[in-house]
Chain A
Amino acid sequence: AQKVTQAQTEISVVEKEDVTLDCVYETRDTTYYLFWYKQPPSGELVFLIRRNSFDEQNEISGRYSWNFQKSTSSFNFTITASQVVDSAVYFCALSEVTGGGNKLTFGTGTQLKVEL
């Protein structure tokens, strides 16, 4: 069975600090996808990034960066110079590849609070 663990329930930082959200996953599949979604207080789920299991290259997008390490089954997310607008719940998710689609298994989420 697939499992995603986000051990940090809540993180509070001061604006402009860097923050890393941890994600550890378990799967028996050799092919899988990893995702990060952001859920602001308004409730919608915003897609941030998708990685496949064969691509361990780190990725940077503006203030966001992701570190995928297959050896430790981790897919961590770093926000550089955090801003108040980054305050949200962040979910890491894993999808198995089925014949007709890719359902997501979510972690329990990390509530990020960025204060002035």
Chain B
Amino acid sequence: AAGVIQSPRHLIKEKRETATLKCYPIPRHDTVYWYQQGPGQDPQFLISFYEKMQSDKGSIPDRFSAQQFSDYHSELNMSSLELGDSALYFCASSLVLRGRGTEAFFGQGTRLTVV
């Protein structure tokens, strides 16, 4: 079965650079979520999109932005990178029916290292 695809798997950037992470959800899933997991921490919700519209926002820095495109893939753009942005970034997708979501399936994550 198709899973959530994230690219790239690993990314190394320097401070103050920009990074773009991509996520391709499971086909027919209408909701995409982004999470950030720092070293030794639990995943923290950043932002979500339902049918290409932002549906919820968590602790996402102003330096980050995201969008969902017409083909349902999503991109997380991160600017002015800081050392503290080094983390594992997960994308997840789910199908929301009548306001009730199914389980979210996670991609394998993008490990971002800022040096």
Enumerate chain A interface residues (CB-CB to B < 8 A).
Answer: 33, 35, 37, 43-47, 50, 91, 95, 97-109
Q: In the complex, which of the residues A46, A101, A108, A109 has the most CB atoms of chain B within 10 Å of its own CB atom? A: A101
B31 at interface, CB cutoff 8 A: yes
B50, A100: Cβ atoms closer than 8 Å: yes
Contacts of A109 in B (CB 8 A): 42
Chain A nearest CB: distance from B90 CB in Å?
Answer: 6
Closest to B46 in A: A103
A104, B100: Cβ atoms closer than 8 Å: no
Interface of B is mostly: strand
Contacts of B92 in A (CB 8 A): 45
Contacts of B99 in A (CB 8 A): 97-99
Chain B nearest CB: distance from A43 CB in Å?
Answer: 6
Interface of A is mostly: strand
- Assuming the contacts A103-B58, A104-B43, A105-B45, asked whether A97 and B106 have C-beta atoms less than 8 A apart, the reply is no
Q: A46-B106, A98-B55, A100-B51 are in contact. List 20 more A-B contacts (CB 8 A).
A: A33-B101, A35-B103, A43-B109, A44-B108, A45-B90, A45-B106, A47-B104, A47-B105, A95-B104, A99-B50, A100-B55, A100-B96, A101-B50, A101-B56, A101-B101, A102-B104, A103-B48, A104-B45, A106-B42, A108-B41
B73 at interface, CB cutoff 8 A: no
Closest to A35 in B: B103
Contacts of A50 in B (CB 8 A): 102-103
18 examples of A-B residue contacts, CB within 8 angstroms: A33-B101, A33-B103, A43-B88, A43-B109, A43-B111, A44-B106, A45-B43, A45-B92, A47-B106, A99-B50, A100-B50, A101-B48, A101-B94, A102-B94, A102-B100, A103-B48, A106-B42, A106-B43
